[in-house]
A and B are shown apart, each in its own frame.
Chain A
Amino acid sequence: MIEIKDVHKSFATLEVLKGINLTVEKGEVLSVIGGSGSGKSTLLTCINGLEPINSGAILVDGTEVHAKSTDLNKLRRKIGIVFQQFNAFPHLTVLDNVTLAPRKVLGMGKKQAEEIAVQQLENVGLGDKINVYPGRLSGGQQQRMAIARALAMSPEYMLFDEVTSALDPQLVGEVLDTLKMLADDGMTMICVTHEMAFARDVSDRVAFFHQGVMAEIAPSDEFFRAPKHPETQKFLSNIRE
């Protein structure tokens, strides 16, 4: 369970999160939507401790992320994150990209790590690309590799930060299919996204962020059928046009 309690976060004088309260249960898929600068991506990087927060608390399975005593390296093993920019490690083959963390961080043997990696890569449809360097892959393939890389650590939570925003339109589908597959497998996911169809069809709940505040959160069908907050209505009507 991820609990976010009254989290405030500023970059210099700019407050990007103004008291966020949110709980994500195990097995839940939450989509977070909102305009750029609404704070939704920042929230994700706070959840795995890549960014410090100014006040409030984030708890993952009861462990306070930003407490001094928390071993972030250990905590991050169970929180996978995939970024908008795929961040493939260019000097490593697809296989080595995926085995790197299990081997170095978890101390897994080469053979076992490779078995897991091949499995994960096959799941995302990259079984025939394992010995290729990421520079030879399309954006969609690199992004799917990044997903496999995160999954190879057997995380309990997955955070997706606009993972389709940097992709050519024809490549978005393949990545969304991968996310959908994960959701069907019961993975707990927080997806910051601009893909409304995905948010509606795949997620259990949808949250709308506006200027650092979570303006609305509701089950996805209700959220799209009858948005309550005027800013949500405005946002959705702009997108539908």
Chain B
Amino acid sequence: MFSYTFQWNQALARLPQMLEGALVTMQVAIMSMVLGILIAIILTGFRLSGNKFLNAVAVTWIEIARNTPALFQIYMAHFGVASFGIHFSPFMSLLIGITFNNAGYLSENFRGALKAIPETQTRSARSLGMPPIMAFRTVVLPQMLRISFLPMTNQMVWAVLMTSLGVTVSMNADLYGVTQDLNALTFRTFELFAIAGVIFYIIVKVINLGARLIAARLFRY
């Protein structure tokens, strides 16, 4: 029935290259998360600012990020802006696309988390003589991060998996890109992508485990 002969050794011989790709994948994911969190905090600030223009900027960002394919977002960051003469490297385009997506999702998470913290917490902090920013930083922010910790972990997982979309903008340094190139070279399609799948799986499992350990340390209440 099948005439395919598995040749795992040939594929496994490429494992070091694939692991190097996995490092690039992690690099993109981590950078996109750090930037995404920072931008999400700013977008959340825009939404709560009461300023119509800032609010519109944030809403537009969040609506596009959450309601269009991640592939579209990465495409636009590469081929879309190229139409206007702006050229990003595949790495940059992938990073920008995923960061855009992260920021949109995380901002909604942060906003939801803020809503879950009673206004009286801020009032209490202010009545102890804290200026607004101090009250936010010491009382509201820690609680917000706890509430949005699980959604942030999910988004980190998504960021890792979204890197695979980089191949569509000629990204070939990440795990998926490396695998695709090796496939073109050796035609060990099943073996190579199976190995890539296992590596993705392990990365995600490690992220989830790490998140659980961090949560257990940080959130003891």
Contact = CB atoms under 8 A, between A and B. Distances in A.
Do A and B pair up? The answer is: yes
Contacts of B127: 48, 50, 76, 79-81
A207 interface: no
A83 B124 CA distance: 8
Interface in A141-160: 146, 149-150, 153
A94 B139 CA distance: 14
A89 interface: yes
B143 A105 contact: no
Contacts of A133: 220-221
Q: A-side binding surface: helix, strand, loop or mixed?
A: mixed
B51 interface: no
A91 B124 contact: no
A87 interface: yes
Interface in B124-168: 124-131, 134, 138-139, 142-143, 146
Contact of A85 (B120, B129, B138, B143): B120
A74 to B, nearest CB: 7
A90 interface: yes
Size category, A interface: 20 to 34
A50 B221 contact: no
A90 B221 contact: yes
Given A85-B120, A100-B138, A50 B126 contact: yes
A81 B126 CA distance: 10
B128 A150 contact: yes
Given A89-B139, A105-B129, A105-B130, A135 B221 contact: yes
B124 A87 contact: yes
Contacts of B143: 90-91
A83 B90 CA distance: 56
Contact of A101 (B118, B128, B142, B146): B128
Contact of B134 (A77, A79, A104): A104
A110 B86 CA distance: 53
Contacts of A104: 130, 134, 138
Contacts of B142: 91
Given A87-B121, A91-B143, A104-B138, A76 B221 contact: no
Interface of B: 118, 120-121, 123-131, 134, 138-139, 142-143, 146, 219-221
15 contacts: A73-B130, A76-B128, A79-B127, A83-B124, A87-B118, A87-B121, A87-B124, A91-B142, A91-B143, A100-B139, A101-B130, A104-B138, A105-B130, A135-B221, A153-B129
Interface of A: 48, 50, 73-74, 76-77, 79-81, 83, 85, 87, 89-92, 100-101, 104-105, 133-135, 146, 149-150, 153
Counting from the closest, the 10 A-B pairs by CB-CB distance are: A101-B128, A87-B124, A133-B221, A76-B129, A77-B129, A105-B129, A91-B142, A81-B127, A87-B120, A73-B129
